[in-house]
A and B are shown apart, each in its own frame.
Chain A
């Protein structure tokens, strides 16, 4: 029945789950020991976590007293406080506005991630988006009540600090990178000093500077509010890092491209705008995304100068005397929020890297 040329199935010891286990978990004595150790560790940790987070946990509780004295997690705390954690001191009845603003900001980020929008019109989309966010958050027009930015808080503030920070820092960083590669010694030195100075100090020191020193720098009677000062510190900080990433891209462009553009008689602006930057920026998209992720994480540092971002509103919600002592639950909740944002961006960056890496892979 079977023809002669029909091949036999592979030996059962090389396929199927048993072979997989032998190959991937017990291929050598060392691997066997490691596998057993790892399994033991998981057996120690995971059931205890499930017990704490699900089995013994309280998901609803009218008062904190119901949670106290129980070994499990108290997720009821999150149920009670999530509006405050997400939107901070924003007037309770108006909180649909920051929610909408968050959606607009996320939409902007998603649009920026799609190659479809990598055209000059992206700048227009951003400008419109940021205006919409501003109108939603401040209000005062179209019948929306005015909300002062000292009352902003939570997730929208975190997103605004990060997106607005990067959006303004990007052109600044681009100029700094070009300046650092420039042949004019004075401009080159100024850019190097700025970049190395900023990259040499922690963001906290810049935030301190913006909160205590900036008022001294300005003429008397002229003041900038605290949020904008923190935003300026974040912009100045990110610009230096963006400059270094862009410089990496500029360095990677072969000399022939510069010389080719010169020999065509292009001016400096034409050479950069039409030949060098389009290639250089394409190379640096993945590191730019990771820069954006770290800028997003770094916005949490504004806690230290008392701005109501996601982290600070969480810390403030923990100060409610009626609901004291559930910080672990609260921190896990916002860690999940940060994680969702950062992880999806880093996944995106990895996909992009694979799509852009053309022809170098075996």
Chain B
């Protein structure tokens, strides 16, 4: 083992406490042993308690009839459906609020973050006020507040607020008009996706061509034309329908249009406003992290303002922005679990109902944790990879 040392006769390896390798092996065995002991203690207690309380463990309950109704969801659910379907509805509800929330919070946060750096005194102070107020009050309190605002202070459907044509706000939630069910709108949606894919391809191609030949290509205008033009083209081909499904007051409530329930509206609004304030700070610090010399040097090279922002400031700011931004997205997704407090049927709320009805506490909590861990670990793995990718290497 040690024959490769210089004089050919290395000191024989003795088991000694002074050998760091020996110590480290001992420490690790002790640590693993302790953890194993604690785990064994907890598991054996749990098994004993379960058997003495006659709780059958396992996920068999998922196939049973749920017997409770779920207020809303992207797929239909009735009380005679199974628990498995209820969990699926909860999962989809979580995803729905998280995805819409992330998109809106990014928009809001970016605008406010840039506004914080605005030369306009009033705009800068207003955004500072927004950020400081929102960040220093618990999200749960804000959710309760918005929920109370919607359900207690908004008028009934008959006197609903009517801020924009086709939009009604009442204590039953928010009503929005949607495009009527028509082939042309489907076509426009597909065309939008195609436009997105083509834009990515075009910008990649343009970058490669510029690297190779030095010729630039009007990427931005092409992409905007693709993303906006293709859907309009699809809509025109489909016959350019102008029908919208507009909510109308019938009797005591609205028909038509799409409804945001008070729970969904309060949750989405609360999450977007809260996370937006944090994203604003992320964006601001990212832009401020790019030293002024960079901007000046770029200007000295003769780049235009837009080019400075796109080619010099943004790439460096993004290095600072993206990791905390990703963790804000994660926070938003995890915070959507507060839905349970105001009664929006997300995964936590559905699993909680299932726990109360069946007594399958361990399984219910395992489902909740598995769902969030899947979200988080996938994003966390990506972040760690990205962090390694951009970190400055020291030696």
Contacts and interface: CB of A to CB of B under 8 A. Distances in A.
Contacts of B376: 196, 199-201
B369 A205 contact: yes
Contact of B119 (A27, A183, A216, A325): A27
Contact of B153 (A215, A315, A328): A328
Secondary structure call for the A interface? helix
B334 interface: yes
A168 B368 CA distance: 27
Interface string A322-362: 00010110011011001100110010000000000000000
Interface string B10-33: 000000000000001001110110
B141 A335 contact: yes
Contacts of A281: none
A327 B148 contact: yes
B361 A304 contact: no
Given A201-B368, A213-B362, A216-B361, A297 B139 contact: yes
A303 B372 CA distance: 21
Contacts of B375: 200
Contacts, number: 159
Nearest to A297: B138
Interface string B107-126: 00000000000111111001
A298 interface: yes
Main secondary structure of the interface of B (DSSP, over half): helix
Contacts of B132: 343, 346
Contacts of A331: 141, 144-145, 148
B355 interface: yes
B295 interface: no
Given A27-B119, A197-B373, A304-B340, A186 B31 contact: yes
A253 to B, nearest CB: 11
Q: Interface residue tally of chain A, by bracket? A: 35 or more
A31 B152 contact: no
B365 interface: yes
B373 A24 contact: no
A276 interface: no
Contacts of B355: 208, 212
B141 A338 contact: yes
Interface stretch (A33-41, A93-101, A134-142, A224-232): A33-41
B81 interface: no
Given A196-B377, A213-B361, A301 B145 contact: no
Interface string B269-309: 00000000000000000000000000000000000000000
B373 A201 contact: yes
Q: Residue among A201, A203, A346 with the most chain B CB within 10 A? A: A201
B52 A220 contact: yes
A184 interface: yes
Interface string A289-322: 0000100011011011000000100010000000
B310 interface: no
Contacts of B340: 204, 304
- List 9 A-B pairs, minimum CB-CB distance, nearest first: A200-B376, A342-B136, A186-B28, A24-B121, A297-B138, A202-B334, A212-B361, A202-B337, A300-B138
Given A190-B31, A190-B32, 4 more contacts: A201-B369, A297-B138, A328-B148, A335-B141
11 contacts: A25-B120, A25-B122, A200-B376, A202-B337, A202-B348, A204-B348, A213-B362, A220-B45, A255-B395, A300-B138, A339-B133
